[in-house]
């Protein structure tokens, strides 16, 4: 039997496990299973690769969704998370066709081609781009493109790519937003973001924090929309995750850029579905546009599928 998450599992793993149901992540196992090519008569096994699998929660759900002749491999460069995956899932039913490797995507399977029937990047590709420390180019998508080129090589012809990641919403970078925080902790975290975040001040253009409006009852901050979203996406996970989240750039590609990058890598049948899932429940905030109307949380979560 699969065991439940225990106290020794990190908060990170627990948060991931709790966030799989009911989100775009929850659709991934079905999409992978439905998109697999039929098993051939030649006896060749089919394989799915889950890149950046962390504690293997999603990998195990994919494994449960695909037919029994499909092998599922999770790769994870963080040793602690990879060991947690081994430990948690080693006795799962059918575990002989579920494996975990402690490696990065860049290092894995070098020189290999046409190996997988499906490759999944769930909440991983923006982390690759965050490793790019050239902060003068804020939306540096080079590492994402490199990974997609490699994924293309590793997929068999007709194989499916499934990505769950952030999508930079249209128009947020061209306009300002006003935010009022409901508590002082969020307000001071917001100011800390401007003091610490390596991507904010060093980027050409802006300034990003445009104005501070103070009354006796409240303080409101006027800020460029895309910077505000980056902040909200860091803070939504709460103070324990802050130090890790602040190092990441999340809104690297817009919907149009996801499409064009995939096309340039050779992919076809590209679909991008965006949703506004999750975050409003986690975050205590009021966001208004410059005209002071309350605005909706934008669709920043994307599920992207494509074929080789």
Residues that bind ligand SAM (CB under 6 A): 16, 25, 51-54, 57-58, 75-78, 81, 104-106, 122-124, 127-128
N-terminal to C-terminal alpha carbon distance within the chain: 36
Q: How far apart are CA 171 and CA 78, in angstroms?
A: 36
Cβ distance to ligand SAM smaller for residue 109 or 194: 109
Nearer to ligand SAM, 194 or 242 (CB): 242
Contact between residue 241 and residue 250 where contact means Cβ atoms under 8 Å apart: no
Instruction: Give the shortest CB-38-to-ligand SAM separation in angstroms.
Output: 27
Question: Nearer to ligand SAM by C-beta: 155 or 223?
Answer: 155
Minimal distance in Å, beta carbon 164 to ligand SAM? 6
Transcribe 103-134 into DSSP letters.
--TTTTTTT--S-EEEEEEES-HHHHHHT---
Q: What is the distance between the alpha carbons of residues 186 and 193, in angstroms, rounded to a whole number?
A: 10
Minimum CB separation from ligand SAM for residue 76, in Å?
5
Q: Which residue is nearest to ligand SAM (CB)?
A: 52
- Of 276, 264, 277, nearest to 306 by C-alpha is 264
Pairwise CA distance, residues 267 & 145, whole Å: 12
Minimum CB–partner distance for residue 119 and ligand SAM (Å): 11
Nearer to ligand SAM, 250 or 285 (CB): 250
Nearest-approach distance from CB 81 to ligand SAM, in angstroms: 5
Instruction: Give the burial string for 159-184 (b: 16+ CB within 10 Å, else e).
Output: bbbbbbbbbbbeebbeebbbbbbeee
Q: Cβ neighbours of residue 284 under 8 Å, at least 6 residues apart?
A: 181, 182, 183, 186
Q: How far is the CB of 149 from ligand SAM (least distance, A)?
A: 14
CA atoms lying within 13 Å on the CB side of residue 47: 15
Which CB, 106 or 175, lies closer to ligand SAM?
106
Q: Measured from the CB atom, is 78 or 135 closer to ligand SAM?
A: 78
Q: Give whichever of 85 and 197 is closer to ligand SAM, judged by the CB atom.
A: 85
CB of 130 to ligand SAM, least distance (A): 9
């Amino acid at each position: 039997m699969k065991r439940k998450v225990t106290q020794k599992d990190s908060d990170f793993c627990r948060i991931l496990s709790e966030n799989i149901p009911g989100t775009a992540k929850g659709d991934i196992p079905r999409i992978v299973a439905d998109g697999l090519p039929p098993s051939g008569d030649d006896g060749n096994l089919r394989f799915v690769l889950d890149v950046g699998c962390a504690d293997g929660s999603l990998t195990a759900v994919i494994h449960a969704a695909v037919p029994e002749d499909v092998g599922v491999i999770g790769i994870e460069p963080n040793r602690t998370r990879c060991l947690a995956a081994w430990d948690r899932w080693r006795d799962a039913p059918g575990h002989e066709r579920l494996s975990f490797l402690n490696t990065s995507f860049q290092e894995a399977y070098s020189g290999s081609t046409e190996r997988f029937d499906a490759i999944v990047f769930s909440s991983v590709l923006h982390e690759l781009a965050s490793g790019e420390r050239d902060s003068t180019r804020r939306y540096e998508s080079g590492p994402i493109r490199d990974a997609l080129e490699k994924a293309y090589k590793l997929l068999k012809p007709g194989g499916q790519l499934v990505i769950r990641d952030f999508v930079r919403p249209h128009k947020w970078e061209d306009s300002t937003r006003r935010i009022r925080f409901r508590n002082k902790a969020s307000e001071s975290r917001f100011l800390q973001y401007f003091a610490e975040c390596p991507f904010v001040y060093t980027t050409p253009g802006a300034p990003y924090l445009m104005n501070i409006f103070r009354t006796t009852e409240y303080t409101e901050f006027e800020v460029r929309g895309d910077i505000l979203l980056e902040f909200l996406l860091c803070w939504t996970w709460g103070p324990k995750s802050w130090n890790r989240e602040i190092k990441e750039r999340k809104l690297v590609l817009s919907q149009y850029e996801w499409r064009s990058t995939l096309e340039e890598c050779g992919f076809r049948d590209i679909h991008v579905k965006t949703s506004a899932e999750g975050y409003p429940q986690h975050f205590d905030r009021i966001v208004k546009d410059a005209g002071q109307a309350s605005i909706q949380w934008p669709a920043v979560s994307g599920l992207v599928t494509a074929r080789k």
